[in-house]
A and B are shown apart, each in its own frame.
Chain A
Amino acid sequence: GAVVSQHPSWVICKSGTSVKIECRSLDFQATTMFWYRQFPKQSLMLMATSNEGSKATYEQGVEKDKFLINHASLTLSTLTVTSAHPEDSSFYICSAKGRKGTQYFGPGTRLLVL
C-alpha cells in the first residue's frame, strides 16, 4: 500500500514552453500533497503544499505564477512549470500525506529545459 506515482518520469522541453507533471496516490486518498525540487548533489527543497480543493501554499522564494499547482481530487495533484527556462531543470518530486500523517513519495520527474 501507500503507492505514489508521477508522470512523466522524465521530460525534455524547449525554453519558454510549459510542462505539466502529475502526481497520483494510487491506493489511498490524500487531502494534502507536497511538491519538492532537488538539484544535483543537494537535498530536497519543499516548494509548495497542495491541499485538495483549495489554493496551494508556496514556500518563500518560490514563484506561484511560475509553478502552478492544482489539486483537483483526493488522488491527483499537478505541477505546471510555466515558461520553463534552463535554470528550472531539476528533479521534481511529489509526496502524498496518508491517513496517519506519513508522507509517501513519488519516484520523481526529471526535467531538462534546453
Chain B
Amino acid sequence: DAKTTQPPSMDCAEGRAANLPCNHSTISGNEYVYWYRQIHSQGPQYIIHGLKNNETNEMASLIITEDRKSSTLILPHATLRDTAVYYCIVLGNAGGTSYGKLTFGQGTILTVHP
C-alpha cells in the first residue's frame, strides 16, 4: 500500500473551514484514498473516500489532485466537536497480502478553538 504523509497538527477557528492535506505520491491507479477520524477514547469514524474524482458528503469534501499524489479533506464549517485525530489512508485494493487492510499512521491532530 502507498504510504501517506500528513502534518502532525493543525489549528482551526470554530466556524471556519478546516483544510487537512495528505501526500500519497506512490499511490497506485486502483487504490482509494480514505479519511477517518478518531475522537479521544473512541473508535475511528469513517468520513469519506475517493478514487480520482472529488467527493462530497454531509460531513466533508475530498479534493484529489489530478495526478492523485495528494488530497485535501475539507470540513467546511469546523465546530469544537471536530477536534480529533484525522487519518488519511490509502487502501490496498485488489490482491496481495495487504488487500482490504487499513494501515493507520500518526494522522493529523486537528484542534478547533473558539
Interface contact A104-B104, CB-CB below 8 Å? no
Contact residues, B74-101 vs A (CB, 8 A): 87, 91, 100-101
Evaluate contact between B100 and A101: CB separation under 8 angstroms.
yes
Count A-B contacts at CB 8 Å. 48
Cβ distance B6 to chain A, nearest Cβ, rounded Å = 11
B30 at the interface (CB under 8 A from A): no
Q: Which residues of B contact A45 (CB under 8 A)?
A: 104
Q: Which residues of A contact B49 (CB under 8 A)?
A: 102
B contacts with A, residue count (CB < 8 A) = 20
Say whether A32 contacts B100, CB under 8 Å: yes
Give the interface SS of chain B, mostly helix, strand, loop or mixed. loop
Q: Could you tell me if A97 and B43 are in contact, using CB atoms closer than 8 angstroms?
A: no
Most B Cβ at <10 Å: residue of A44, A49, A110? A44
Which residues of the partner chain B approach A93 to less than 8 Å between Cβ atoms? 43-44
B22 to chain A, nearest CB (A): 15
Instruction: Return B51 CB to nearest CB of chain A, in Å.
Output: 11
